[in-house]
């Protein structure tokens, strides 16, 4: 009898695991629709929005703060019909005989793009729903499709237009666009967005993180106008293994799918004509001898793609990136990544979510001043200005999705969410020459569900873009008190041994750095994706006193001395360029809701450790 029970239990175990795998597979297959099902699905992402015909909707938007979500649910927590929800945009003043308990016209404004936390003192810690409304006119144009493009909305956005709910998007750091062709009016269009930044256990990121959960329409909103059949997506790059040839593909969107399309690079006197298939897609290849993009010569070319109905121009650079043993090779030559990690926070006292080209130029300018040729844009896809300005300035980029700490690795919907954000990130930025590393995670715990989760993300990344390196920020492991390695199983699947370590801050005092030895079993480039410690700008004291500039300076000096002893070191990105807001940091008078590990203060003051890194990078 015992044997039969054991066999039955074994069969049940196998069936349970089979069902888990089937559910995960189903989630992967439905990744593009699971969060945005049915009529609420956004349109496929339009790339290179800066190169399109656009109309800005940025500025002052009317808002309603709605912590109980009264505008979406009734008192039984059932969704309202459209006529009863805030999407209806009723005007109480127009008919005071009817009961309405909201009025956008008399409520307060918020600036878009921007976060609500730093615009209003009473919303500083707020997590929940805020309704945004913009009233605009639109000049109708014949033979034109129209889309509303959102650079990002944190975290869930439900979009309504003229009283009708039209789209839903989940994910706080990636763009989405909604087609509104035929839905706009000449006058008085009411665009309403329900933005909800509540954290969720099954979300990406999940409940716990070490950065501020800024809510709002945090990046620009605009109308994008296109021909009826337009060039929606494309990829232009050097052919793998043949650096004197350029290859890629074009994707048209519209009923006239089969067209002749020309890809031209005038400066190189190179062009090719292809014909798209019934799905609007075509691949191409042509001879060319471009100057390679690199930090010392960030060369970009005008690339124009012209179909029978549309034309779009982008600035694109060409380079190769690969590894050889313990080296990272850029254009076939070893390169040391002199980097720094950056959060998407404004410079100086404005502090809040960064979004503009000016913000990018200041932040990246500080990195250049420190001697950087590389930046890690942590821990989520940053706004497009950051990537494009970095490319123009000659800064290589590590870009990642917010699979951060402990998320629900066994949840199929969580995986689908993570993959959707990965796809959106790669889709937007795959034509940027400076992006050399896609990262799929940061400091995630060891275990089989996590390993399977991340392996699938890595496979998806390589499927979408086999031309770049793939990695993740792992964690160090101690062999003994002074000997360190990385034992993470993930190291077999990524291109770098990239890891975070805080010897001298969370692990002992600064002098421990002097005694550390680093050993690695496999020959891959070693990349220290985080290190450092906190200091308050202007706070001085003994070299052993925490949160003083002297302690941080000493820690950095001992750290770089330690790094000089690491065989195969190919890059570092200290944590972090600038102090940033985090509700985990609670010492009054020292942290005050800021992570103080910045090399620059939230007010723009450079700490002593900044100059340690500058000097070390100048020696590399």
221-227, strands of its sheet edge to edge: 53-56, 221-227, 144-150, 176-179
Give the mean pLDDT of 279-300.
Answer: 97
- Could you tell me the pLDDT band of residue 348, with boundaries at 50, 70 and 90? confident
Q: What is the pLDDT of residue 15?
A: 47
Which stretch of 5-9, 284-288, 352-356, 541-545 has the lowest confidence by average pLDDT? 5-9
CA distance 403 to 379: 8
Residue 533 reports pLDDT greater than 80: yes
Give the mean pLDDT of 76-95.
Answer: 90
CB of 380 closer than 8 Å to CB of 400: yes
Write the pLDDT tens digit of every residue in 184-230: 999 999 999 999 999 999 999 999 999 999 999 999 999 999 999 99
Residue 128 reports pLDDT greater than 90: yes
Write the pLDDT tens digit of every residue in 310-338: 999 999 999 999 999 999 999 999 999 99
Give the mean pLDDT of 41-56.
Answer: 95
HSE value, Cβ hemisphere, 13 Å, CA-based, for 582 = 19
Is the bond preceding residue 504 a cis peptide, omega within 30 degrees? no
Give the mean pLDDT of 592-598.
Answer: 96
| Number of continuous H segments (helices) and E segments (strands) in the chain | 7, 34
483-485, strands of its sheet edge to edge: 477-480, 483-485, 517-518
Token pair 């809040």: residue: 352
Q: Which residue would you say has higher pLDDT here, 34 or 109?
A: 109
| Secondary structure of residue 112 in the 3-state scheme | strand
State the CATH architecture for 333-618: Alpha-Beta Barrel (3.20)
- Could you tell me the pLDDT band of residue 30, with boundaries at 50, 70 and 90? very low
Average pLDDT, the chain: 93
13 burial type by CB count under 10 A (0-12 exposed, 13-18 middle, 19+ buried): exposed
Report the candidate in 253, 258, 262, 197 with the shortest Cα–Cα distance to residue 224. 253
- Residue 26 phi/psi, 5-degree rounding, is -60, -40
568 burial type by CB count under 10 A (0-12 exposed, 13-18 middle, 19+ buried): middle
CA distance 467 to 495: 12
- Could you tell me the pLDDT band of residue 468, with boundaries at 50, 70 and 90? very high
Report the candidate in 528, 541, 544, 502 with the shortest Cα–Cα distance to residue 210. 502
Q: What is the pLDDT of residue 38?
A: 46
CA distance 283 to 274: 7
Give the mean pLDDT of 419-429.
Answer: 98
Residue 278 reports pLDDT greater than 60: yes
Q: What is the pLDDT of residue 39?
A: 56
Length of the chain: 620
CA distance 525 to 337: 11
Give the mean pLDDT of 326-352.
Answer: 94
HSE value, Cβ hemisphere, 13 Å, CA-based, for 465 = 31
CB of 570 closer than 8 Å to CB of 327: yes
Write the pLDDT tens digit of every residue in 572-587: 999 999 999 999 999 9
- Could you tell me the pLDDT band of residue 105, with boundaries at 50, 70 and 90? very high
Q: How many CB atoms lie within 10 A of CB 9?
A: 10
**Superfamily of 230-308 according to CATH:** Immunoglobulins (2.60.40.10)
Report the candidate in 521, 497, 467, 500 with the shortest Cα–Cα distance to residue 570. 497
Q: Do domains 230-308 and 333-618 have the same CATH topology?
A: no
Give the mean pLDDT of 248-275.
Answer: 98
Q: What is the pLDDT of residue 35?
A: 39
CB of 317 closer than 8 Å to CB of 298: yes
- Could you tell me the pLDDT band of residue 92, with boundaries at 50, 70 and 90? confident
- Could you tell me the pLDDT band of residue 458, with boundaries at 50, 70 and 90? very high
Q: What is the pLDDT of residue 34?
A: 37
Contacts of 5 (CB under 8 A, 6+ apart): none
First to last CA, the chain: 71
Domain 38-227: which CATH class?
A: mainly beta
CA distance 487 to 614: 31
Write the pLDDT tens digit of every residue in 160-181: 999 999 999 999 999 999 999 9
Q: What is the pLDDT of residue 82?
A: 87
CB of 228 closer than 8 Å to CB of 308: no
Residue 356 reports pLDDT greater than 70: yes
- Residue 550 phi/psi, 5-degree rounding, is -65, -40
Give the mean pLDDT of 93-109.
Answer: 89
| Secondary structure of residue 551 in the 3-state scheme | helix
Residue 471 reports pLDDT greater than 80: yes
Q: What is the pLDDT of residue 96?
A: 82
Give the mean pLDDT of 261-270.
Answer: 98
What tokens were used for 125?
């810690």
Q: Which residue would you say has higher pLDDT here, 21 or 250?
A: 250
| Secondary structure of residue 391 in the 3-state scheme | helix
Give the mean pLDDT of 109-132.
Answer: 97
Report pTM.
Answer: 0.92
Domain ranges in the chain? 1-30, 38-227, 230-308, 333-618
Give the mean pLDDT of 2-7.
Answer: 40
CA distance 95 to 107: 18
Q: What is the pLDDT of residue 9?
A: 42
């Amino acid at each position: 009898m015992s044997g039969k029970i054991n066999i039955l239990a074994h069969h049940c175990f196998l069936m349970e695991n089979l069902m888990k795998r089937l559910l995960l597979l189903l989630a992967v297959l439905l990744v593009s629709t699971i969060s945005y099902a049915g009529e609420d699905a956004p349109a496929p992402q339009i790339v290179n929005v800066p190169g399109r015909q656009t109309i800005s909707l940025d500025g002052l938007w009317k808002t309603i703060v709605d912590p109980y979500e009264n505008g979406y649910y009734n008192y039984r927590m059932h969704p309202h019909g459209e006529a009863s929800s805030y999407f209806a945009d009723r005007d109480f003043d127009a008919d005071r005989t009817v009961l309405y308990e909201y009025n956008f016209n008399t409520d307060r404004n918020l600036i878009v793009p921007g976060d609500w936390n730093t615009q209003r003192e009473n919303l500083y810690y707020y997590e929940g729903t805020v309704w945004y409304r913009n009233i605009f006119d639109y000049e109708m144009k014949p033979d034109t499709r129209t889309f509303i493009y959102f650079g990002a909305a944190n975290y869930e956005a439900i979009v309504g237009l003229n009283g009708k709910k039209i789209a839903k998007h989940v994910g706080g750091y990636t763009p989405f666009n909604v087609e509104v062709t035929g839905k706009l009016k000449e006058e008085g269009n009411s665009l309403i967005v329900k933005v909800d930044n509540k954290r969720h256990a099954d979300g990406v990121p999940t409940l716990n993180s070490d950065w501020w959960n800024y809510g709002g329409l945090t990046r620009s909103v605009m109308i994008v106008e296109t021909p009826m059949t337009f060039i929606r997506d494309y990829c232009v790059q050097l052919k793998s293994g043949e650096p004197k040839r350029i290859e890629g593909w074009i994707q048209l969107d519209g009923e006239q799918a089969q067209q002749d399309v020309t890809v031209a690079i005038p400066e190189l006197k190179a062009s090719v004509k292809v014909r798209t298939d019934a799905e609007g897609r075509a691949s191409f290849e042509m001879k060319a001898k471009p100057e390679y993009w690199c930090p010392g010569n960030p060369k970009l070319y005008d690339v124009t793609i012209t179909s029978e109905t549309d034309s779009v121009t982008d600035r694109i650079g060409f380079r190769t990136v690969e590894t050889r043993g313990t080296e990272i090779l850029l254009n076939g030559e070893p390169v040391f990544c002199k980097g720094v990690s950056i959060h998407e926070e404004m410079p100086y006292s404005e502090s809040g979510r960064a979004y503009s080209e000016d913000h990018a130029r200041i932040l990246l300018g500080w990195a250049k001043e420190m001697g950087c040729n590389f930046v890690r844009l942590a821990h989520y896809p940053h706004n497009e200005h950051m990537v494009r300005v970095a490319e123009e300035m000659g800064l290589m980029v590590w870009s990642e999705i917010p699979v951060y700490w402990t998320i629900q690795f066994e949840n199929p919907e969580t995986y689908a969410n993570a993959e959707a954000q990965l796809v959106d990130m790669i889709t937007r930025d795959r034509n940027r020459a400076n992006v050399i590393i896609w990262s799929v995670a940061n400091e995630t715990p060891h275990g089989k569900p996590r390993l399977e989760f991340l392996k699938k993300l890595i496979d998806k990344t390589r499927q979408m873009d086999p031309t770049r390196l793939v990695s993740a920020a792992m964690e160090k492991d101690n062999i003994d008190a002074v000997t360190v390695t990385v034992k993470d199983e993930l190291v077999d699947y990524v291109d770098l041994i990239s890891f975070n370590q805080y010897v001298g801050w969370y692990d002992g005092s600064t002098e421990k750095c002097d005694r550390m030895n680093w050993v690695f079993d496999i020959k891959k480039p070693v990349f220290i994706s985080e290190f450092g410690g906190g200091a308050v700008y202007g706070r001085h004291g003994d070299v052993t006193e925490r949160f003083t500039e002297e302690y941080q300076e000493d820690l950095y000096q001992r750290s770089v001395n330690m790094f000089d002893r690491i065989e195969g070191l190919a890059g570092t990105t200290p944590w972090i360029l600038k102090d940033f807001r985090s509700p985990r940091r609670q010492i009054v008078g020292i942290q005050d809701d800021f992570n103080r590990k910045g090399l620059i203060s939230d007010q723009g003051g450079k700490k002593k450790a900044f100059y340690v890194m500058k000097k070390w990078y100048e020696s590399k």
